Amino acid sequence: MMIGLVFASLATASVDLQATADDAATETPVVEVYSAPRPISVSHPIYPSKLVHRQAEGWVHLHFMVDSSGQPYEIAVTESTGIEEFDRAAVEATAKSRFAPAQRAGKPIDAGLSHKIVFYLSDPSTSAKRSFIRGYKRLMAAIQQGDRALADQMVTNLVVENLYEDAYAGLAAYAYARQWGSRTDQIAGLRRAMAEEDLPRYLPRKQHAAALRNLLSLELETNDFAAAYLTLQRIQKGHVSEAERPEFQRIAERIEAIQSDDTSFVHEGEFGPTSSWFLWLLKNRFRIIVDAGAIAELKLRCDRRYVMFRYDPELEYKVEDKDGLCNLELIGDPGTRFRLIQS
């Protein structure tokens, strides 16, 4: 059994240039150098014994803060295969890890970091069991025929054990949601299918590329522009034809324009069965209107700062430019529906 870890800072920017009038005159800008946290002593999770016996595999993506002494805190599971034992093992191991803190202008500061932990039994699986293949084919046939009762039955009976199977289960969830679910459900299915991978690992190349493009389209439709920008970067890491490049460039320019201008936009969100909801922020100002349910508090895990607020429907919240890219977590009742307005 194996465990893989991939680390990334919440933002990729490493240098900020802040020029004053005097600086411009002398052509000597003031440079503020920033370096992200670095892992020093990584605690590897213990593979849950129950899942070893089941030969189950999974992955967990976490966002967390690293304080000025290198201690992780505010660890949150933002995406995963949904197996609670893996989620707990990943959080516990991350809490035991130690890091070199981020540095800004030579001083240690609190900063955001993310990583993905993959649990697999040997090499990552590249095949499915016959029982899964039969169940998957019957499920997809029921979806294509519009037989929801049979599809619901097949979803219940579909047993997923390895990461290869989970990717295809994500494709099935996407297909099901296209027939009977919401765009949010479709997005969840596609993200599960791609398993937070930039390049094809479980799906064939063509299916992975198609899934990324469908995801980008849905994120743009739902005004999830920061996530769309990240998806666009993933697409551009893979194979992009010359004919496609101008279109993707236009999308990137559109998102960058929305980020910098005075445009306001609304993202409609809904909590699932858990009490947390996550979104990357594109703009610096935002407010939240609750339509049903309740939100108790907000957490911002930014590239260079962590902030927590009590939710106040009368307030507009503001993030400073110097804080960098921020991931917003809302804490509230499962099923809560709301509108997030960024401006």
DSSP string, 240-296: --TTTHHHHHHHHHHHHHHHHSS--EEEEEE--SSSEEEEE--SSEEEEEEEES-EE
Per-residue pLDDT, 5 = 59
Nearest to 86 by CA among 154, 197, 162: 162
Contact status, residue 297 vs residue 309, Cβ threshold 8 Å: yes
State whether CATH 1.10.1760 applies to domain 130-260.
Answer: no
Per-residue pLDDT, 53 = 86
Structure tokens at 276: 């947390």
DSSP code at position 197: -
Nearest to 65 by CA among 115, 6, 107: 115
CATH of 265-342, one of 3.40.1190.20, 3.30.70.250, 3.90.740.10, 2.60.120.380: 2.60.120.380
Per-residue pLDDT, 194 = 92
Query: For 2-120, which CATH class?
Result: alpha beta
Residue with tokens 């390049």: 199
Residue type (1 letter), 331? I
Q: What is the pTM of this model?
A: 0.85
Nearest to 303 by CA among 324, 330, 282: 324
Domain ranges of the chain: 2-120, 130-260, 265-342
CA dist 143 and 250 (Å) reads 35
The answer for residues whose C-beta is within 8 angstroms of residue 226's C-beta and 6 or more apart is 279, 280, 281, 282, 325
CA dist 277 and 340 (Å) reads 12
Q: List per-block mean pLDDT (blocks of 10 residues) for the chain, which spans 343 residues.
A: 57 31 44 80 91 90 94 94 94 95 90 91 78 96 97 94 93 97 94 90 91 96 96 87 91 94 94 93 95 96 90 91 90 96 96
**Beta-strand relationship, 30-35 and 102-104:** antiparallel
HSE, CB side, 13 Å, CA atoms: give it for residue 202.
28
State the angle between helix axes of 225-237 and 205-221 in degrees (0 to 180), rounded to the nearest 10: 160
Per-residue pLDDT, 2 = 60
Distances 253 to 114, 234, 325 between C-alpha atoms, Å: 26, 16, 18
Per-residue pLDDT, 4 = 63
With residue 15 as reference, give the H or E element that holds it. strand 15-18
